[in-house]
Amino acid sequence: MSLPLVEPDLDLLRQGRVLIDVRAPVEFAQGALPGAINLPLMDDEERHLIGIRYKEQGQQAAIELGNRLVAGGLRQARIAAWQRSIAAHPDALIYCFRGGLRSQTAQQWLFDAGIERPRIRGGWKAMRQALCARIDAAAERPLLVIGGLTGCAKTELIQRLKGGVDLEACARHKGSAFGRHPLPAPAQIDFEHAIGRRLLDVPGACVVEDESRHIGVANIPLTFWRAMEQAPRVRVEMPLDWRLARIHKDYIEDLWAVYRGQYGEWLGWALMRKQLSGALARLKKRLGNARLARLARLQELAFREHQRGNPQAHEAWLAPLLTEYYDPLYRHQLEKHTQTFLHVGDWDSCLAFAREWQAPGGSSVGGTRQPAHQHAVE
């Protein structure tokens, strides 16, 4: 009997279909499809042993070993896990690495238990190729990059746009020494898949924040990164006090909310202090010993005041961090890489410009979109 198949269509991801990944946990950790849950046919050790048998004696011997290793109560437990997932998500689909023997086996065991569910033709590999192709296709479309000094709320601007692609959210990192997220960073493959998934909802031109190729431990896919390097730019300019308030929200208020929610008051506080003090220490080479020591003292005093109910005390070290580290670094990059900006203005004007740039008819020959009020600034 032939078990049902579905094509590796990215609409499956757009529809939010639940995907049951029957690969081993070690494979899932290296990268899965967006929204997938790992309910493996074999655990890591079983997969390792079967792989050895396959290399030494061939497929049939490997199948026979697999049937011995995953049998009886263990087999029933894994079928029961699939059954529970399908009961909660009746339209769930099954996949393995290439849509081959493992997903077929899971299908057959479920069918024998009275449940028929399709598997994805080509499995993880085919879906990954489609997601990567989506990123490559986006690199060929019009692209706008939003730049500006730290604290100019560039990420929020990106999030306000229908065509905005928040690369930092995909990387679970804010793209700076202080940008580490309390939750673990995604694997490189998961980062790429998150970008591809976001691009499914952006059929036309897209807007991204000006980033280095490395965001935390993740690397922007090379084709997309090269397109970003060549893309037209907009620069947000806001006064220092406005930027300081944004940095305080990002680095202190929002970070504390995540740590407290994830780990509780005591451990969350300890972990946040460790992250912020460690981030400051990593700037030693650029700040120098004396400046680092001064900022570290101010940071320690700010934590004490914060505990007494005065979180605004952090501005004592955040303000010089902006003026003595981030701002000179950004201006150095501008001098090192001369750039032409389609628009330079405050946050609201840059948002309006980006929306107009994305609007139908906003593009010119060659993919550079130039609204009527465009002005280039060196």
Could you tell me if residue 172 is left (phi over 0), alpha (psi between -120 and 50 degrees) or otherwise beta? left
State the pLDDT confidence band at 364, using cuts at 50, 70 and 90: very low
Between CA 125 and CA 127 the distance in angstroms is: 6
Is the per-residue pLDDT at 339 higher than 90?
Answer: no
State the pLDDT confidence band at 174, using cuts at 50, 70 and 90: confident
- Return the pLDDT at 369: 41
Domains contained in the chain, CATH given: 5-130 (3.40.250.10), 140-238+340-358 (no CATH), 240-329 (no CATH)
Q: Which contacts qualify for 22-26: CB closer than 8 Å, 24 or more apart?
A: 22/94, 22/95, 22/96, 22/102, 22/103, 22/106, 23/96, 23/97, 23/102, 23/124
Residue (of 313, 291, 293, 316) closest to 303 by Cα position? 313
Token pair for 67: 């049937």
Is the per-residue pLDDT at 159 higher than 80?
Answer: yes
pTM, 2 dp: 0.89
3-state DSSP assignment of residue 288: coil
State the pLDDT confidence band at 378, using cuts at 50, 70 and 90: very low
- Return the pLDDT at 376: 38
Q: Is 96 a catalytic residue?
A: yes
pLDDT in tens, 52-71: 998 999 889 988 998 899 98
User: One of 96, 152, 170, 206 is an active-site residue; which one?
Assistant: 96
Residue (of 119, 162, 131, 160) closest to 19 by Cα position? 119
Residue (of 306, 253, 299, 294) closest to 276 by Cα position? 299
- Return the pLDDT at 175: 63
Q: What is the DSSP code (8-state) at residue 186?
A: P
Percent of all residues in the chain with a pLDDT value above 70, rounded to a whole number: 94
Between CA 317 and CA 345 the distance in angstroms is: 27
Is the per-residue pLDDT at 367 higher than 50?
Answer: no
pLDDT in tens, 271-293: 999 999 999 999 998 899 999 99
**Which of 9-18, 168-177, 313-322 is least confident?**
168-177
Count of CA atoms in the C-beta half-sphere (13 A) of 95: 30
Mean pLDDT, the chain, integer: 90
Between CA 184 and CA 176 the distance in angstroms is: 16
